C-alpha cells in the first residue's frame, strides 16, 4: 500500500512539472482555439508564405499573432505541412527546426488512475521533430543517389566507420539500390567483383540485395563463398521458388558451400520439373561423393526417383552404392 502511494507521488512529481510560465487551459478551450475560423484563415496565409518560401515574412507573421493563438497557429501550420506532405526547402526546414526550441506556454492536464500530468496544448514541437527527421532522411536518400549516379560512391569507404553509421548506410543502400540506374548498379557491383584480391565485402544482406537486382554471376559466386547466415539462406530459398534455369544453376553453385550443401541439394531435388542433363550430371557427381551421397539419395527417394537410383547402381560404378542401397532398403 505504502509503495503504491509512493509510486503515485513519484508520477505526480514527474509528470506535473511544467515550465514556470506555463498556463493551463481546458480541453474545451484548446479545441475552441484550434477550430477558430479567423485563426484558420490566418494559418492559410502562413501556409502560402511557407510554400512560397518567404521565410522572413512567415516568421514575422507568426510572431505578430498574440498568445495563445500564436501557439495554436504554429501547431496548425506544422500540422498542415505534415499532413499535406509539403516538401520542405532548406529555408523552410530551418524555420521548422527553430520551432523545436520555442518552449510552449499553454498546457492541458491529462489525468489517469493515480496520476496526472501536463502536456502541451498545441504540441508543435512533436510535429517539428517528425518533419525535420523526415527531411534529414530524404536528404540522405538524395545525397546517396546523387553520389552514386555521379560515380563518386566508393563502397568500401562509404560503408566504413562506426557500427551505427555503417548500419544506417546499409539500410539506405538496401532501400534505394533498386532506384539507381542500371549502369550505376553494375558499376557498384564491379567494385566488388573486378578486383585481383577480395579484401573486403559488405554485409550479406547488401550482397544479397545487389545480387538479386543485378543477377551478376560473379557477385553470386562471391555470395556463395560467404559464411552462410540468415540472409544467404533466405536467398537460397527464394531461388528455389523462382526455379528457372538461372536459379537452378545458382543452387548448384551454393551446394559447394559446406554450410549450404545439405539444403541446396535437397532443394534442388525437390524442384518440381524434370531434371535437365546438367542437373542429372551434377546429382550423379554428388552421388559419387561419400559425404553427399546419403543426402542426395534420401532426397531423391522422397521425391519418387527410386527407379533412377536403381538404374544408376547398374550403370555407374563410381556412385556410392552402399549409401544408395541403404537408403533404398529403408523404403
Please report the beta strands in the chain, taking only residues with DSSP state E, as ranges in sequence order: 23-24, 106-112, 115-120
The pLDDT value given to residue 240: 93
Q: Are 26 and 110 in contact (CB under 8 A)?
A: no
Question: Does the pLDDT at position 197 exceed 80?
Answer: no
Average pLDDT over the chain reads 89
Residues 6+ apart with CB under 8 A from 46: 58, 61, 62, 73, 77
Per-residue CA distances from 90 to 132, 137, 222 (Å): 10, 13, 42
Residues 6+ apart with CB under 8 A from 48: none
Read off the pLDDT of residues 111-130 as tens digits, 9 standing for 90 and up: 777 778 888 989 999 999 99
Which residue pairs, CB below 8 angstroms and at least 24 apart, start in 35-38? 36/69, 36/72
**SS3 at position 117:** strand
Share of the chain above pLDDT 90, in %: 65
Question: Does the pLDDT at position 20 exceed 80?
Answer: no
C-alpha span between 220 and 198 (Å, rounded): 14
C-alpha span between 300 and 266 (Å, rounded): 8
Per-residue CA distances from 317 to 231, 280, 313, 325 (Å): 39, 16, 7, 13
pTM of the model: 0.78
C-alpha span between 168 and 178 (Å, rounded): 17
The pLDDT value given to residue 326: 86
56-92 core/surface letters (b: 16 or more CB in 10 A; e: else): eebeebbeebeebbbbbbbbbbbbbbeeeeeebeeeb
Opening angle at CA 17, ends 116 and 30, nearest 5: 65
The pLDDT value given to residue 198: 82
| Beta-bridge partners for 112 | 115
Question: Does the pLDDT at position 153 exceed 90?
Answer: yes
Q: Are 72 and 34 in contact (CB under 8 A)?
A: yes
| Beta-bridge partners for 107 | 24, 120
Residue 26: Cβ within 10 Å count? 11
The average pLDDT across 234-258 equals 94
**Number of separate helices (H) and strands (E) present in the chain:** 19, 3
Domain residue limits, the chain: 2-129
Confidence label for 103 from pLDDT (cuts 50, 70 and 90)? very high
Amino acid at each position: 500500500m505504502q509503495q503504491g502511494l509512493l509510486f503515485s507521488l513519484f508520477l505526480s512529481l514527474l509528470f506535473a512539472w511544467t515550465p514556470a510560465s506555463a498556463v493551463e487551459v481546458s480541453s474545451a478551450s484548446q479545441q475552441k482555439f484550434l477550430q477558430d475560423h479567423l485563426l484558420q484563415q490566418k494559418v492559410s496565409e502562413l501556409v502560402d508564405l511557407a510554400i512560397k518560401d518567404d521565410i522572413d515574412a512567415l516568421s514575422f507573421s507568426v510572431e505578430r499573432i498574440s498568445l495563445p493563438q500564436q501557439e495554436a497557429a504554429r501547431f496548425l501550420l506544422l500540422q498542415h505541412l505534415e499532413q499535406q506532405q509539403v516538401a520542405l526547402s532548406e529555408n523552410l526546414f530551418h524555420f521548422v527546426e527553430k520551432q523545436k526550441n520555442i518552449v510552449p506556454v499553454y498546457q492541458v492536464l491529462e489525468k489517469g488512475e493515480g496520476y496526472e500530468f501536463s502536456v502541451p496544448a498545441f504540441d508543435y514541437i512533436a510535429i517539428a521533430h517528425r518533419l525535420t527527421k523526415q527531411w534529414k532522411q530524404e536528404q540522405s536518400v538524395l545525397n546517396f543517389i546523387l553520389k552514386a549516379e555521379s560515380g563518386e560512391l566508393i563502397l568500401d569507404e562509404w560503408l566504413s566507420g562506426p557500427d551505427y553509421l555503417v548500419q544506417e548506410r546499409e539500410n539506405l543502400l538496401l532501400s534505394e539500390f533498386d532506384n539507381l540506374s542500371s549502369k550505376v548498379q553494375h558499376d557498384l557491383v564491379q567494385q566488388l567483383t573486378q578486383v585481383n584480391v577480395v579484401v573486403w565485402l559488405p554485409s550479406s544482406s547488401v550482397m544479397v540485395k545487389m545480387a538479386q537486382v543485378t543477377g551478376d554471376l560473379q557477385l553470386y559466386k562471391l555470395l556463395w563463398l560467404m559464411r552462410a547466415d540468415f540472409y544467404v539462406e533466405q536467398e537460397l530459398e527464394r531461388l528455389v521458388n523462382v526455379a528457372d534455369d538461372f536459379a537452378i544453376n545458382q543452387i548448384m553453385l551454393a551446394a559447394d558451400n559446406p554450410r549450404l550443401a545439405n539444403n541446396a541439394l535437397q532443394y534442388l531435388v525437390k524442384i518440381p520439373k524434370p531434371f535437365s542433363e546438367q542437373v542429372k550430371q551434377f546429382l550423379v557427381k554428388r552421388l559419387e561423393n561419400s559425404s553427399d551421397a546419403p543426402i542426395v539419395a534420401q532426397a531423391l527417394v522422397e521425391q519418387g526417383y527410386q527407379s533412377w537410383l536403381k538404374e544408376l547402381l547398374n550403370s555407374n560404378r563410381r556412385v556410392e552404392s552402399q549409401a544408395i542401397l541403404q537408403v533404398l532398403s529403408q523404403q
